[in-house]
Structure 1
Amino acid sequence: MTEQKRKLEKLAGVKGMNDVLPQDAALWEFFESTVKSMLRAYGYQNIRTPIVEHTQLFTRGIGEVTDIVEKEMYSFVDSLNGEQLTLRPEGTAAAVRATIEHNLLYDGPKRLWYIGPMFRHERPQRGRYRQFHQVGVEALGFAGPDADAEIILMCQRLWDDLGLTGIRLEINSLGLAEERARHRVELVSYLEKHVDVLDADATRRLYTNPLRVLDTKNPALQEIARNAPKLVDFLGDESRQHFEGLQRLLKANNIPFTINPRLVRGLDYYNLTVFEWVTDKLGAQGTVAAGGRYDPLIEQLGGKPTAACGWAMGVERILELLKEDDLVPHEEGCDVYVVHQGDAAREQAFIIAERLRDTGLDVILHCSPDGAPSSFKSQMKRADASGAAFAVILGEDEIASGNVAVKPLRDTSGSAEKGEQRTVPVENLTEFLINAMVATAEDGED
């Protein structure tokens, strides 16, 4: 292949790392504005951490024998100084690292939230990508079941705000470390009796992370997992009281839930409460949000012992649900499209467009695609296609008279209709457009 031909080859994006195109932006913006509004309602503050962290943060925080650390992290050696670095696979460890490093808890507990891209090296499939986006919350410094209940209620409010249905809540308790240790002995002993039928994943996890065997998706192992010793039977009084307190708060707020004794989550830092919000609408990737309590993590990463809980949700999966339920919002067009012809009209069009923007109107100023003057007919086609409510038209006659022509492009229902064209003095244009848009909005409400 010649060098010239190689340069002309079309380049494609990395598989599993997707572009968000303009036609999809309205859905992303709808979700982001809705979730940010919900987070403000609960008093959460935004935190933004780098997408690259030291690899040790995740091996120490998430756990070295988890799937994420063993198989899914994008890790590399920094050629500048030899540091082991990783593209963040999740947000909790990074948020906790920043909290410790900047002493955010010196004046009391914190409610934090984040949104951004995460990275995992796994086979791309619907709702599961190599670069994906998460929204997460972290309630740091709160030890009681009330914090667990609050973060669960936040999710329910978000589903309601988005209009989503068919998402159900599953909860469980992982108890405390000593309780899990007693359960682990019994669980390993039980699984050893069935070692001849365990699949490769279960065999690999048998002595390193046996709890994860209970969460197997292999149909052949479902009965074994169902009959395994249940962690709930090993919980002490403190863990039981915490779990029962959570259940009382959920019931008091009319939040339906199912106790799933096999729900364990895939990260080492969880204790006590764990939960998942799941749906049947996305096939195998049915979990849309998950979280729980992770009291050991802050001390594990070098901070003072501090209680904490939180959740994360996959943005792409929720957007799939919005599409599935036909909840994709209509993308609003701009307010005004400015059509012009002639050098003098073009100069005046720039001035008018800026003045209209100064008042808060959204304005598209026509620019010729090929650099040559565009006809009024072709410009009006673009004005119609833009979704603008009004076209402001300037030509030689308008420049000579000090007026502009204003043509409505939509009726009150938003459909394309040819309204009556009006001649308006330039100095009255802003007032005329604002009054016309207010009147249109009021007609639409009627």
Structure 2
Amino acid sequence: MTNPSLSQRDLSVLWHPCTQMKDHETFPPIPIKKGQGAWLEDFDGNRYLDAVSSWWVNLFGHCNPIINAALKDQLDTLEHVIFAGFTHESAVKLAESLIEASPPGLTRCFYADNGSAAVEVALKMSFHYWRNWGAIKKTKFIALENSYHGETLGALAVGNVPLYKETYAALLMEVITVPSPDCYHRAPGESWMDYSSRRFELMENALRDHAESVCAVIVEPLVQCAGNMRMYDPVYLQLLREACDRYHVHLIADEIAVGFGRTGTLFACEQAAISPDFMCLSKGLTGGYLPLSAVLTTDKIYRTFYDDYQKLTAFLHSHSYTGNALSCRAGLATLEIFQQQDIIAKNRILAKTMAKVAARFHDHPHVAEVRQMGMIVAIELVKNKLTREPYPWQERRGLRVYRYALSKGVLLRPLGDVIYFMPPYIITEDELRLMADVAWDGIQLVVKG
């Protein structure tokens, strides 16, 4: 097997996600033969440092021996069973572990297949909760500008990245959109806390004007990942939690991308010392091994659905692979690694190293901002540093950095012209330096013309 032969077979049968397939006429997909630690290897022996954790899912490296062993053990006992009327140990133990680790008050766990499905579950649960209470006017949701919550229609509706949403606008429910607290737009000298606090006035106004018709507010805590890794201060979450309580509106925390240590704490909500009404989890939940998501919620919400069958209050959302035993066992092994190896403390050291290797980008004449939240660093390329005028999107300069980085053995898939580092937690200091060196050289190359 060679790279060209497998690429040719791929292009004759497959349609890849988030891809203009015509690009592959000149830059074919790279076939991966195996992975080990932070590295991927293709069929021609080329190696690539996975600096984006394979779309933010891989926490502890490819072919992690602990997760591998857990899955091999699970394979010998149970691969899957219908989760309506049946249960199994891995699903129960994972739910217990998630509840123990999550913010206080989240006591019930509902499994789904992926992040978008988790968001759909939370939206439907919130709407259905109010319906069970007789609050039939509550049918809308509030979301933030520049937010992203997935690709299914409900999740897409509460997102606000035009690239993903505009084509399907006619299919989507109406959502109340509030300007983001994204600190990229703060005034010179203004702190993150002051800017995010000031921006909350816009959310306060929306809640005051629409609370009677709103089921929930949905946010990505601290980092709007698919929205160019834009970041904001935890004070916004504190203010939002208080306002949602005051206006009798649910708070949905989409921690799909930011959960499991990405922002410096196990869950981003911890940095604001708040508990949402719903917390959506996926991506790192299984350490990058298998599809699984979970929605954690409160006993108060759970009890609103708990009644005699004839009352027709039950939550009937379902997935064929709900609570899949293999996925749950991978998730359980992932949480055990966090507990046994004190990963959050180790990540604090890694985050400092990431800040150190990214420091040189601050003064680059075509970098508007370098921002960091825990294990996420984003470098925003612009045409003019002073005015922050972006490059024309048609020039695809971020893509050119990506292609250069691959030629040097580093996987840096950008978000437009935002180059970011979101590596697995087992990355070494030398690997972090390599990642930053290649990113620097790639940026130097693409800003020349």
TM-score range, shorter chain: under 0.3
Of structures 1 and 2, the larger Rg is shown by 1
* TM-score (norm. length: structure 2): 0.22
